[in-house]
Amino acid sequence: MTPLADPVPGGRPGEVERAVALASELAGRGVHGVVFAYVDTAGVCRVKTVPTGKLAAAAAWGVGMSPVFDTFLANDAIVTTDVLGSPDGDLRLYADLDRLTVLSAQPGWAWAPVDRITQDGAAHPGCSRTFLRRLVDRAEREEGLGFLAGIEIEWAVGLGAAPDDTFVPAVSGPAYGAIRQVGLSDYAADLLAACAAQGLDVEQFHPEYAPGQFELSVAPLDPVAAADRSVLVRQTIRAVSARHGLKVSFAPVVQAQGVGNGGHLHLSAWYGGENLHGTGDRRYGMTAGAESFTAGVLAHLPGLTAVTAPSPASYLRLKPSQWAGVFTAWGRETREAGLRVVTGTAGQRGRAANLEVKPVDLAANPYLALGCAIAAGLDGIGSAAVLPEEITGDPVRFDAAEARARGVRRLPVSLTEAVAEFREDEVLRAALGPVLADAVTAVREGEIAAVDGLDDERVAAAYRWKY
């Protein structure tokens, strides 16, 4: 089976036999059930599970799930579009057996991401994983381009015993401080052990800036695998936290004020085995293609924000001077620009150079976020977009005239503004297709209505434990 193939009723060739063998191996390892995970338009990971003995049947015929979940809000209310949100119909969830992972911190369980198809075997137009796979496939077919992607994960750890309407950091101590690493030493070691046991290639783990906040990053993979991995990393962090009696929040902000949880995307485009971001003769080793790719992402950042920062709480994070990158600007290793050009260290640039997209949080559906970022970059390549001058330092210091002269704009300051930008972005809408594009606008508008009249503290509280 190739990971670039869509599922079919009855199972792809060889898939059912493979599931039979896998199920018996899983049973031998004490696995009783398999979690089928997907991420909805609001960014919430939702699951079904099957007993291990039903894995082969699921490989053949999928597992049923209502299409209504495409238009769920984070609070489980349901909105509708022309085609989505109806109580009618059924979709089939097909697990990607290539990604099936025995969950180290959830004894008895394995996990797999799913694609969704209709009962008649057609791709479901609302399936975000299929969307990303198709886009990656198209870039390869039409441009010969491949991608490596990674998603940083930041989260806050709270005391499990604290009431739901409060957040009490599970550890004190300074940002990046040894006190925090020691304070949650067993937790952190269990997390690294669980990741290693699951084959998750952790690059680093550290205490972050905000109270009780940590960050973990993993090695880059092809975009679909990177999105899958970000879902699995979060499942693992949740499970390890639960075993330690701790609560975990991946919400854009845990408290209304201060630095939030980012989910920065790292992306590099490759052609013929060469990294376009580190093997060229343009600025910082970019090829002309990498510059245009970067220019494309930059041009689409305002509309992209509706996909990468999808929650009303996202706009409590997206503030200047908090490393969230809230300006349409790029710079080398600049943490306040929307795009940070990462060159890597001398000696490994050809491999490591990439583009970091910062106005992204973990409320974002990673498949939609990566797919739309790639679509924006491809638009830049297709139109030979010209990358403007870089900036250094914090763009917040530019007065209006300088910002205008440099083409530096503040990104949307609210979800309402982001949706307005998204509505005007024909490139992103066309890449998503009408069903997903309408789902994005309907769900965002639903979220906006859900927090109407709430102050910042209440908005933060409304989403604190949702992601």
> Which residues of this chain interact with ligand GLU, rule CB under 6 A?
154, 209, 259-260, 262, 317, 323-324, 335
Helices vs strands, H then E, count in the chain: 14, 16
Shortest spacing between CB 334 and Mg ion, in angstroms: 15
Q: How far is the CB of 363 from ligand GLU (least distance, A)?
A: 12
When the beta carbons of 18 and 234 are compared against ligand GLU, the nearer one is 234
Q: Which is nearer to ligand GLU, 99 or 317 (CB)?
A: 317
Give the orientation angle of helix 366-382 with respect to helix 288-308, to 10 degrees. 140
- DSSP for 39-74, please give it: E-TTS-EEEEEEEGGGHHHHHHH-EEE-GGGGGB-T
Q: How far is the CB of 209 from ligand GLU (least distance, A)?
A: 6
Helices (H), 361-455: 366-382, 400-406, 415-424, 426-450
Minimum distance, C-beta of residue 292 to Mg ion, in the bound complex (Å) = 28
Nearer to ligand GLU, 71 or 217 (CB): 217
The residue of the chain with the least Cβ separation from ligand GLU equals: 262
What tokens appear for 230 in the block? 């970000």
Q: What is residue 411's DSSP assignment? A: P
Residue 215 binding Mg ion, by CB under 5 A? yes
Q: Which two tokens stand for residue 98?
A: 């290539």
Is residue 425 involved in binding Mg ion (CB under 5 A)?
A: no
The pair of three-digit structure tokens given for residue 86, joined into one six-digit string: 């109806």
Q: Cβ of residue 402: shortest distance to ligand GLU, in angstroms?
A: 24
Tokens of 276: 């376009």
Measured from the CB atom, the residue of 237 and 259 that comes closer to ligand GLU is 259
Report what 109 binds from Mg ion, ligand GLU, none; CB cut-off 5-8 Å by kind.
none
- Residue (69 or 323) nearer to ligand GLU, CB: 323
Q: Which is nearer to ligand GLU, 277 or 317 (CB)?
A: 317
Interacting partner of 323 out of Mg ion, ligand GLU, none (Cβ under 5 to 8 A depending on kind): ligand GLU
Pairing of strands 339-342, 330-332: parallel
Q: Are strands 101-102 and 145-151 parallel, antiparallel or unpaired?
A: unpaired
CA dihedral 380, 417, 125, 84 (to 10 degrees): -170
User: Shortest approach of ligand GLU to residue 334 CB, angstroms?
Assistant: 11
Residue type, 137: D
Binding footprint of Mg ion on the chain (CB under 5 A):
215
